[in-house]
Structure 1
Amino acid sequence: MTGPAVVTMHLWGVPARAVPRAVAHMATDRGPLRATPGLRFAKLLGTGSGRTFTARDADLRRWGLLAVWDDAAAASAFEQGPVPGRWRRFSAEEWVARLEPLAARGRWSGQEPFGHPRPRAWEGPVAAITRARLVLRRAARFWAAVPPVSADLHRTAGLRLALGIGEAPVGLQGTFSVWDSGSALNAFAYRRTAHVAVVDRTAREGWYAEELFARFAVRSTSGTLDGVDPLGSAASGRP
């Protein structure tokens, strides 16, 4: 990968009657995405509450697309293209965040989709993505450890949005979260007891066969989730 990545996260909310169409698009959109100019990496995602990271968390009325682009022009051209256009025809709402990687480590499907950004300060909202492929024989211990961390996450000051994300209902687990600032995210990641304990267990017990952690500057957002933009006018930070 050469040059800085431009990352977008699309989230679509669909009415109950359109859930079958959304499920179908999770399969049929893969071909058109592979043919999209300037697209480096993409994952069509189901979403959920992230409370337990089991199938019962799944939210069949919210779906996502994470994409990494060569440049802003490619991302902008995609916005006017057929894949988002088809989703808009049956979605009740759409929220789009344009992101810039600040830090990343690990792999997703054998790739390093966000490159190796040079760490730097960012004054403004941040987003975080975690993703892991579970070692199935250790999954039960992971699932048992999740609820206390999730409950604590939703009590943390500065959190604007938190979703479970995944390419499959079981075994491929992730989170997407949006925060007022990097300091708010750091407070959860490094100073909340429940999260620190789980991170320690992850290293000791080897829960993951593959894992990735990434942090992003939120450059802009548009649209709504549940009727509001989680960040409103806050996505205007600066380096």
Structure 2
Amino acid sequence: MSMMVAARMMLPRVEGIGFWKLCGSGAGEGFDIVPNPRVFAILATWPDAETARHQTKTAGIFARYVAHASESWSVFLNTTSVRGQWAGIAPFTASDTPQTAPLAVLTRATIKTRNILRFWGRVPNISAVISDDPKVMFKIGIGEAPLLNQITFSVWPDAHSMAEFARRDGPHARAIRSVRDENWFKEELYARFTIVGDRGTWGGSSPLTQTERPA
């Protein structure tokens, strides 16, 4: 926790870093209202992949995180599409690079206060559905602030698998319709990325080494 506080002073001093956010996570696989004090995430943008790899390996704050962690995983991404805003700005710029597999998807939303109970009432069912999908390679729910600012990050073997999950009738599809019909969010962002590499492990191995989880 003290390192998360210190990072707010140290990250702006890291050469080359652009937009950045410090995030906590929920219990279980992250999609939970109960916080997990052991899992944290740093999201950052960089001018190029070489800078990203170098600074996340050698910059003091990142080296300290790795030294104090029992396990760490970094995934390097290239934005292929994005819409919406994050804290009033557009943090990612889509490149002309074609989408390749595997791909990552990030959604971020600021929930309107009056809709908090309805949003969190849907999360357990959505979490159960995505957890049961053998095609999702990795997923986690993180956030900048408890209850209000929520982020989902998932990795899929291909665009078809991701789209099939998103469009399938069920808790997720019904929640999306409610978001649109009832205007749940104050702000939202949706981005897709091509994965250009990773470093480290999650649960003992790289999530990118598996194309499908066992049922």
**TM-score, normalised with respect to structure 2:** 0.90
One-letter amino acid matched to 2:9:
G
Q: Which deviations, in whole Å up to 9, do the C-alpha atoms of 1:54-112 show, x marking residues without a partner?
A: 2x1x2211111111111123213312110111112211111111111111111111111
Q: Does structure 2 retain, via aligned residues, the 8 Å contact 1:105–1:116?
A: no
Match in the other structure for 1:42: 20
**Which structure 2 segments of 5+ residues have no match?**
none
Query: 1:35/1:201 Cα in 2 relative to 1: closer, same or farther (>3 Å)?
Result: same
Instruction: Please tell me whether the aligned partners of residues 127 and 177 of structure 1 are also in contact (alpha carbons under 8 angstroms).
Output: yes
Identify if the C-alpha distance between structure 1 residues 159 and 192 changes in structure 2 by more than 3 Å, giving closer, same or farther.
farther
Q: Which amino acid is 1:114 matched to? A: F
Q: CA deviation at 1:233?
A: 7.3
1:140 pairs with 94, 117, 137, which one?
Answer: 117
Q: Tell me the secondary structure at the aligned position of residue 75 of structure 1.
A: helix
- 1:103 and 1:117 map into 2 onto residues whose CA distance is 8
Displacement of 1:117 in angstroms is: 4.1
> One-letter code of the match for 1:180?
P
Contact 1:50 1:150 in 2 (8 A): no
SS of the residue 1:40 aligns to: coil
Which letter maps to 2:197?
Answer: S
1:95 and 2:73 aligned: yes
Corresponding position of 1:80: 58
Q: Residue type of the partner of 1:95?
A: W
- 1:205 and 2:182 are equivalent in the alignment: yes
Q: Does 1:27 align with 2:5?
A: yes
- 1:124-203 mapped onto 2 (5 Å cutoff): 124-203=101-180
1:150 positional shift:
1.4
- C-alpha separation in 2, matches of 1:208 and 1:119: 30
In angstroms, what is the RMSD of aligned CA positions?
1.7
Q: How does 1:53-68 map to 2 (within 5 A)?
A: 54=33, 56=34, 58-68=35-45
| Contact 1:103–1:214 (Cα < 8 Å) also in 2 | yes
Task: Kindly indicate whether residue 199 of structure 2 is the aligned counterpart of residue 219 of structure 1.
Answer: no
Partner of 1:115 in structure 2? 93
Quote the Cα distance in structure 2 between the aligned partners of 1:51 and 1:223.
23
Task: Find the residue that maps to 2:18 and give its secondary structure.
Answer: strand
Q: Given residue 182 of structure 2, which amino acid in structure 1 is its aligned partner?
A: E
For residue 51 of structure 1, report the CA deviation from its aligned partner.
3.4
Distance 1:169 1:138 in 2: 14
CA distance in 2, matches of 1:230, 1:59: 20
The residue identity in structure 1 corresponding to 2:80 is L
**Aligned residues: percent identity?**
33
Aligned length: 208
Q: Matched residues in 2 for 1:116 and 1:75: separation? A: 17
Whether the aligned pair in 1 keeps the contact of 2:84 and 2:189 (CA below 8 Å) is yes
- Deviation digits for residues 163-193 of structure 1 (CA, Å, limit 9, x no counterpart): 1111122211111111111111111112243
Q: State the partner residue of 1:51.
A: 31
Instruction: Give the partner amino acid of 2:120.
Output: W
Residue identity in the other structure for 1:30: R
Match of 1:7 in 2: none
Q: 1:106 aligns with which of 77, 81, 84?
A: 84
